Amino acid sequence: MSTYDFPEDLRAAQLALHQTRARYEEYATILPWSVEPLPGWEGDKHLHSDYRSGKPDSPGYTPEQTAEVARFQEELLRLSVEVSTHPYWQSLSSSDLVDARMTLKHAHKPDGEA
């Protein structure tokens, strides 16, 4: 990948996008499997193993969980728009644009770590 002189506000927005996405994904691990309350189910036994797929009953999201998911989604959208519409992209030729965007995604990592 080439090197680019990204503005600090663009680098900060990209890093915030990565961090927010990671926090959202971590938060999602504690959520019920369904937004709405739904009964669980158990699938048939797989042909060549004793594995049975299934889910327990889902109580659905609480109002607090629904609000937190909405907050994460709004923040992710805001940061995505901030990064993708930053004026810096206008300074690049169309042939460099994809490489620059891919480079920015890894700009927060230590050198040599892709």
Residue ranges of the chain whose pLDDT lies below 50: 112
Surface-to-core class of residue 104, CB atoms within 10 Å of its CB (0-12 exposed, 13-18 middle, 19+ buried): buried
Confirm whether 39 is domain-assigned: no
Instruction: Write the single-letter amino acid at 34.
Output: S
Confirm whether 70 is domain-assigned: yes
Give the separation between CA 82 and CA 6, rounded to whole angstroms: 14
**Which token pair is 66?**
């629904």
Confidence (pLDDT) at 51: 87
Confirm whether 85 is domain-assigned: yes
Give the separation between CA 46 and CA 5, rounded to whole angstroms: 54
Confidence (pLDDT) at 113: 56
Chain centre distance of CA 5: 25
Q: Which domain holds residue 68?
A: 8-32+62-105
State the total domains in the chain: 1
Q: How would you classify the pairing of strands 41-45 and 52-55?
A: antiparallel
Confirm whether 49 is domain-assigned: no
Confidence (pLDDT) at 58: 97
Give the separation between CA 74 and CA 67, rounded to whole angstroms: 10
Confidence (pLDDT) at 111: 65
Question: b/e map of 48-78 (b: 16 or more CB within 10 Å)?
Answer: eeeeeeeeeebeebeeebeeebeebeebbee
Confidence (pLDDT) at 112: 47
